[in-house]
Amino acid sequence: MGIRERLSGNEAAAIAMKQINPDVVAAFPITPSTEIPQYFSTFVSNGQVDTEFVAVESEHSAMSACIGAESAGARAMTATSANGLSLMWEMIYIASSLRLPIVMSLVNRAVSGPLNIHNDHSDAMGVRDAGWIMLFSENNQEAYDNLLMAHRIAEHKDVMLPLMVCQDGFITSHSIENIELLEDEKVKAFVGTYHPEHYLLNDKEPIAVGPLDLQAYLFEHKFQQGLAMKNAKKVIADVSKEFEALTGRKYEFFEKYKMDDAEQVIVCMNSTAGTAKAAVDELRAQGIKAGLLKIRMFRPFPAEEVATALKNAKSIAVLDKADSLNGAGGALFEDTISGMYVSNIHVPTVNYIYGIGGRDTTVNDIKKVYWDLQEISNTGNIGNPYRYLGLRG
């Protein structure tokens, strides 16, 4: 039986890192993820981990150092948010192309500008095509659990890709909630030790990493990266099952909340799913067949599975906490509807951009979306598919 605690999302992430005991952590302070390296530094200073903590001078260097460390044969981790991830952007692509299973805690925050320190998903959406596995977390428990599963997924020989675990800035990172932790030795046994196949520090087999890769090879290398991302699906499913056997906590590609007979369905990610569950419960009490599909695995995107899960709905709203500013809907919306289209599933679907820059999204806001969906179901009229929630008129 686990250890009952009360922790913030950042504390949960830092404790997961302590239990994982990575060889190297390189990080730079940025709100709201700052506390993660801060707590972790205490573990380093008190000798509770074997980690070399590299207090770099920027996020670009944080990711560069993680790449150097992971290539050298170490387990490397970092944490960041928003502009920190933007500054890393160049290195984010390099990390995945070098097939380095680096693990990052991303505490989601609005990317500048103008400057805003509060939660939305614009940081994560900026790297959605960068070749990282992206797991989203509704609360502190999920942020912790996803981190414990991260290395098993990322380091799998069929995968070898970096992985980021997302949680909502402040809403999750700074809210203290109940959590069930695993014992240190159970984490150690579950995560296991890292045995890289090729690494810089192996003097018996020197290697060269990061070539000039021209027309004759880059295409095939990118194809292999894509293949690894596809392979990650099975590995994520397998590792999640193993984790369930250990903890009793079930994780799938997405969570279906009251979906069995649902007619009006919301698709969203991270903490908003908690708010949406409260709305679903209230509406169900009124006889409205509301359901929720909470995406956990955003990359690789489970397009076919999502489409199948949505096929019996009468109307769907996809909630994006980042505006793609493209005149054609947010990223989660686009992924969802293209998945449905390819599977030949056609259900009236609309997009809501919401919560930008930390704009509060309440149970009543979510209920309004379900009422809009009822209207669409009743009239068959979609109206404007590109909508906003909580935007002042």
Which lies closer to another protein via its Cβ, residue 212 or residue 325? 212
Which lies closer to another protein via its Cβ, residue 74 or residue 110? 74
Residue 289 pairs in a beta bridge with none
**Neighbour count for residue 22 (Cβ, 10 Å):** 26
Interaction between residue 213 and another protein (CB under 8 A): yes
Among 45, 48, 58, 379, binds another protein (CB under 8 A): 58
Give the sheet arrangement for strand 254-257, strand by strand.
254-257, 290-295, 264-269, 315-320, 349-354, 386-389
Interaction between residue 382 and another protein (CB under 8 A): no
Which lies closer to another protein via its Cβ, residue 94 or residue 235? 94
Among 7, 16, 17, 69, binds another protein (CB under 8 A): 69
Question: Can you tell me whether residue 138 is helix, strand or coil?
Answer: coil
Contact 144, 13 (CB under 8 A): yes
Contact 232, 161 (CB under 8 A): yes
CA nearest to 184, candidates 381, 18, 39: 18
Name the DSSP class of 345: -
Interaction between residue 94 and another protein (CB under 8 A): yes
CB of 222 to another protein, least distance (A): 13
Which lies closer to another protein via its Cβ, residue 91 or residue 389? 91
Among 8, 31, 33, 51, binds another protein (CB under 8 A): 51
Stretch that binds another protein, among 1-9, 58-66, 259-267, 268-276 (CB under 8 A): 58-66
**Neighbour count for residue 383 (Cβ, 10 Å):** 11
Interaction between residue 76 and another protein (CB under 8 A): yes
Sort 98 into a burial class: Cβ within 10 Å, 0-12 / 13-18 / 19+: middle
- From residue 232 to residue 271, what is the string marking binding to another protein with x (rule CB under 8 A)? ----------------------------------------
Among 207, 227, 328, 342, binds another protein (CB under 8 A): 207
CB of 21 to another protein, least distance (A): 9
Phi/psi region, residue 324 (left: phi>0; alpha: psi -120 to 50; beta: rest), is alpha
Interaction between residue 66 and another protein (CB under 8 A): yes
Which lies closer to another protein via its Cβ, residue 69 or residue 319? 69
**Neighbour count for residue 273 (Cβ, 10 Å):** 27
What is d(CA 155, CA 1) in angstroms, rounded to the nearest whole number? 27
CB of 44 to another protein, least distance (A): 11
Among 212, 245, 285, 325, binds another protein (CB under 8 A): 212
How many residues form the binding site for another protein (CB under 8 A)?
A: 44
Interaction between residue 44 and another protein (CB under 8 A): no
Interaction between residue 50 and another protein (CB under 8 A): yes
Interaction between residue 197 and another protein (CB under 8 A): no
Interaction between residue 96 and another protein (CB under 8 A): no
State residue 168 phi and psi, 5-degree precision.
-75, 130
Token representation of residue 61: 């260097």
Interaction between residue 378 and another protein (CB under 8 A): no
Interaction between residue 117 and another protein (CB under 8 A): no
What is d(CA 209, CA 230) in angstroms, rounded to the nearest whole number? 24
Interaction between residue 200 and another protein (CB under 8 A): yes
What is d(CA 267, CA 391) in angstroms, rounded to the nearest whole number? 19
Token representation of residue 392: 């002042």
Residue 280 pairs in a beta bridge with none
Stretch that binds another protein, among 12-20, 158-166, 199-207, 294-302 (CB under 8 A): 199-207
Contact 78, 62 (CB under 8 A): yes
Residue with tokens 């992985």: 163
Which lies closer to another protein via its Cβ, residue 195 or residue 392? 195
Side-chain-facing half-sphere of 239: CA atoms under 13 Å: 24
Kindly list the residues in this chain that would bind another protein in the complex (CB under 8 A). 23-24, 26, 50-52, 54-58, 60-62, 64-74, 76, 90-91, 94, 98, 200-203, 206-214, 217
